[in-house]
A and B are shown apart, each in its own frame.
Chain A
């Protein structure tokens, strides 16, 4: 049991003293996952709206497929992106394997399905009387879309948070694509994995606490936003 107490004490010390390594890992984690979330949002919003408000053959199948991909395994995304960007792969010329950019790409792909799917649900949740009113007031297509998005903003925001949560907590793609390089591609999850295998329990606990706090802060923020 002693090692848990020792680990906790060390973890608290690492956090309170703003240990440079721990801070660096935390910052990189946030930068990578926030960028991935922003990118995915920019793709998921218009895509979700396009799917929701247009009729085409196979729409049901597509939505089904998107929902199936909610549980897209992280290592599969890692493998897929690895095969694409390894130097002899189709995108190998970019030379981005083992860089934060590649991790952003992988996390974006990872969270796209769930964000598109939740965007569709969010837009579907808007009361039909509201959509009818907007149309009857003679809104242009763009005005219509912005109004609907504004109506659905809480649900869309929740989708963004879910995406961010999935991005920052995944380890499979981060380790395959980033390579867990110190000071370069080491993020919270891969660092916890490495430190635990090296029996550096204190560091692992510290990083784990930070990861939890990030989740907590984000979710509290959402709750406050939705209660407004």
Chain B
């Protein structure tokens, strides 16, 4: 009898402790779906009505500092708190599919199309674009400078297979948008990505991490890698890699925003998500995107989508039409 009382006591304490742990923590029941309080240390500016928007973003928009710059005016205007999870496009799409975030900002048209077709996402708008660059050590051991991206990749592979000590390529290897673009280039060159690339030798290194970290790894290993120009410029002073190939239609990099379909995922904060999308395509934000980083890096990190739908090969409505 005493034994059972003891076990009962334990169970009660477990339950009490869990309850205490869940309610006694620093911020209130903070879900993306409802009005929340923010952690105590940032509470000075927030009122009780502050809503939270949870964004999953591709690392390039975060590592460059663009999203941090864009979110501040939005937070003020809409009395909102914008929380950002920086992950590759693949991870972001996964969170979106589970309805764990409200908004996704990604750059992989093919997978975005599938995501929209499956009904997980709605209201995609294109917000910005730039170009990928193939960067590598200044000595350019594979001699790719001035080549087309397609030629450069074939050459890196050839030289890498011949002498993996000298010629290496670091891949994101994380199913991100940049990784997807890299695969497209290999496939365009006629290679089977699995057999001809990933399993072909020591020259090909899969980092499995974000863009910034991949640049740092490539720099350490004196290797080539494919990067969006924005992240590269943001890291330029921290690494010694130089851009070697930056021209070619295949290097176009288009960033989109979309919200998670509330019909499919009832918990998401859909109205604030709508506001965020409309904020991003508004003329003033588009101008802010155009000007972002110019003073610091001497050139733009991103080009605004506004007025450039033909360059990007998308519909005008996808760039300009507000979400209603």
Q: Which residues of A contact B (CB under 8 A)?
A: 24, 27-28, 31-32, 35-36, 38-39, 42-43, 46-47, 49-50, 53-54, 56, 86-88, 94-101, 104-105, 108, 141, 179-184, 197-199
Q: Nearest 5 pairs between A and B by C-beta?
A: A95-B31, A197-B213, A42-B17, A39-B21, A179-B85
B99 contacts A99, C-beta separation under 8 Å: no
Shortest Cβ distance from residue A122 to the other chain B in the assembled complex, whole angstroms: 17
Residues of chain B contacted by A36 (CB below 8 angstroms): 21
Q: With contacts A28-B39, A100-B39 known, is A181 near B83, CB below 8 A? A: yes
Which of the residues B9, B16, B63, B100 comes within 8 Å of A87, measured between beta carbons?
Answer: B100
B84 contacts A181, C-beta separation under 8 Å: yes
Shortest Cβ distance from residue B266 to the other chain A in the assembled complex, whole angstroms: 9
Residues of chain B contacted by A50 (CB below 8 angstroms): 6-7, 9-10
Which of the residues B16, B38, B100 comes within 8 Å of A98, measured between beta carbons?
Answer: B100
Query: Which of B63, B85, B267 has the largest count of A CB atoms less than 10 A from its CB?
Result: B85
Shortest Cβ distance from residue A96 to the other chain B in the assembled complex, whole angstroms: 7
Residues of chain A contacted by B27 (CB below 8 angstroms): 99-101, 184
Residues of chain A contacted by B83 (CB below 8 angstroms): 98, 181-182, 184
Which of the residues A24, A47, A97, A199 comes within 8 Å of B42, measured between beta carbons?
Answer: A24
Q: How far is the CA of A181 from the CA of B95 in the complex (A)?
A: 14
- Some 27 contacts from A to B, beta carbons below 8 A apart, are A31-B25, A35-B21, A35-B24, A38-B17, A39-B17, A39-B20, A42-B20, A43-B13, A46-B13, A46-B14, A54-B7, A94-B31, A95-B29, A95-B34, A98-B100, A100-B27, A101-B22, A101-B29, A101-B30, A108-B18, A179-B87, A180-B85, A183-B42, A184-B27, A197-B209, A197-B216, A199-B212
Shortest Cβ distance from residue A19 to the other chain B in the assembled complex, whole angstroms: 13
Which of the residues B2, B14, B265 comes within 8 Å of A141, measured between beta carbons?
Answer: B2
Q: How far is the CA of A31 from the CA of B21 in the complex (A)?
A: 11
A99 contacts B21, C-beta separation under 8 Å: no
B33 contacts A95, C-beta separation under 8 Å: yes
Q: How far is the CA of A77 from the CA of B9 in the complex (A)?
A: 26
Residues of chain A contacted by B98 (CB below 8 angstroms): 86-88
A180 contacts B86, C-beta separation under 8 Å: yes
Q: A31-B25, A50-B7, A97-B100 are in contact. List 15 more A-B contacts (CB 8 A).
A: A28-B39, A38-B17, A38-B20, A42-B20, A56-B3, A88-B99, A95-B31, A98-B83, A99-B30, A100-B27, A141-B5, A181-B84, A182-B68, A183-B39, A199-B212
Q: How far is the CA of A32 from the CA of B7 in the complex (A)?
A: 28
Residues of chain B contacted by A43 (CB below 8 angstroms): 10, 13-14, 17
B21 contacts A108, C-beta separation under 8 Å: yes
Residues of chain B contacted by A184 (CB below 8 angstroms): 27, 38-39, 83
A104 contacts B85, C-beta separation under 8 Å: no
Can you list, as one digit per residue, whether each of B245-285 has a CB less than 8 Å from chain A (1) or not (0)?
Answer: 00000000000000000000101000000000000000000
Q: Which residues of B contact A (CB under 8 A)?
A: 2-3, 5-7, 9-10, 13-14, 16-18, 20-22, 24-27, 29-34, 38-39, 41-42, 54, 63, 68, 83-87, 98-100, 209-210, 212-213, 216, 235, 238-239, 265, 267
Residues of chain A contacted by B209 (CB below 8 angstroms): 197
A199 contacts B235, C-beta separation under 8 Å: yes
Q: How far is the CA of A43 from the CA of B7 in the complex (A)?
A: 12
Residues of chain B contacted by A54 (CB below 8 angstroms): 3, 6-7
Shortest Cβ distance from residue B144 to the other chain A in the assembled complex, whole angstroms: 25
Which of the residues B25, B33, B239 comes within 8 Å of A100, measured between beta carbons?
Answer: B25
Q: With contacts A179-B85, A184-B39, A197-B212 known, is A47 near B21, CB below 8 A? A: no
Residues of chain B contacted by A198 (CB below 8 angstroms): 63, 212-213
Q: How far is the CA of A54 from the CA of B1 in the complex (A)?
A: 11
Shortest Cβ distance from residue A6 to the other chain B in the assembled complex, whole angstroms: 12
Q: With contacts A182-B84, A184-B39, A197-B210 known, is A86 near B100, CB below 8 A? A: yes
Q: How far is the CA of A39 from the CA of B13 in the complex (A)?
A: 10
Residues of chain A contacted by B7 (CB below 8 angstroms): 50, 54
A181 contacts B41, C-beta separation under 8 Å: no
Residues of chain A contacted by B17 (CB below 8 angstroms): 38-39, 42-43
Q: How far is the CA of A54 from the CA of B32 in the complex (A)?
A: 45
Q: Which residue of B lies closest to A55 (CB)?
A: B3
Q: How far is the CA of A27 from the CA of B239 in the complex (A)?
A: 32
A28 contacts B216, C-beta separation under 8 Å: no
A39 contacts B18, C-beta separation under 8 Å: yes
A101 contacts B25, C-beta separation under 8 Å: yes
Q: How far is the CA of A105 from the CA of B10 in the complex (A)?
A: 18
